[in-house]
Chains A and B, each alone.
Chain A
């Protein structure tokens, strides 16, 4: 139903040729949970503001793009470094059974939550068992 679009970009590779920023682009980690009537996608996008996040649906492709603003004053020097900041990019293909028009998105505490409803015929149905 939900398939990742390839080729995937690797970390440190410039994601989009037209990009202006020098920051690296990351593939956000996602959880995908299937419920009775939807797929719920949770993506970690730390540092992304609501205004800097784009969720784009085009030709059945769902693209997540988040930009991270540099939070530090330029005069600061690094004393200990464990991670890089950069933008986020990841693309999925919505296959059969998903209702692209009904996608709902919300961002809270750096986590994007996308709810993609299943189409009627893919929703789980309980089959009634008839007795004698």
Chain B
């Protein structure tokens, strides 16, 4: 028995979730169809061995309170310079690339569950933010982007008077 038979294939965290946003699904479909064309040969081989392997696309959470939006994304294995965050027309664009570890010829994958590749996520925001004071922080493989809401977007409480 080959060693790799001893290592069971686990479903990825995202697949377990059951909830995959539509744009992500479309992206996956595109990549499954054309992805290999743009990948180095060893990745293509690895994909054949582990057909369930997906291209890396980080899941994104958006939180808000009265004053700001906070976007967070799990991007383990990326370095600060692999990531780019931009904002335009009320949308935040997070892009980057998760690179495979450099391999020597003598190295062989026994298990490949982590996914690699470049990604681009576009996150629309429901109200306007102050684009000049957006802050992005990267720590322990988690990206966090803080976007302060503009004065108008914060909204005003309307007093309800008794008639």
A interface residue count range (under 10 / 10 to 19 / 20 to 34 / 35 or more): 35 or more
Which B residues, 76 to 97, have Cβ-Cβ distances below 8 Å to chain A?
76-79
- Given the complex, which residues of A lie within 8 Å of B59, measured CB to CB? 82-83
Contact of A42 among B19, B60, B108, B114 (CB under 8 A): B114
Contacts A3-B7, A47-B140, A79-B69: A29 and B113 contacting too (C-beta < 8 A)?
yes
Contact of A33 among B76, B79, B109, B123 (CB under 8 A): B109
- Given the complex, which residues of B lie within 8 Å of A77, measured CB to CB? 63-65
Name the CB-closest residue of B to A112.
B76
- Given the complex, which residues of A lie within 8 Å of B63, measured CB to CB? 72, 76-79
Some 16 contacts from A to B, beta carbons below 8 A apart, are A1-B6, A29-B10, A29-B115, A33-B101, A34-B110, A45-B76, A46-B74, A46-B75, A46-B76, A47-B140, A47-B142, A77-B65, A79-B63, A109-B78, A109-B140, A110-B142
Which B residues, 1 to 18, have Cβ-Cβ distances below 8 Å to chain A?
3, 6-8, 10, 12-14, 16-17
Residue in A26, A46, A73, A77 with the greatest tally of chain B CB atoms within 10 Å? A46
A residues in contact (CB < 8 Å) with B: 1-4, 8, 10-11, 26-27, 29-36, 39-40, 42, 44-49, 71-73, 75-84, 109-111, 124
Is B21 an interface residue, CB under 8 A from the partner?
yes
Contacts A76-B64, A79-B126, A83-B61: A31 and B112 contacting too (C-beta < 8 A)?
yes
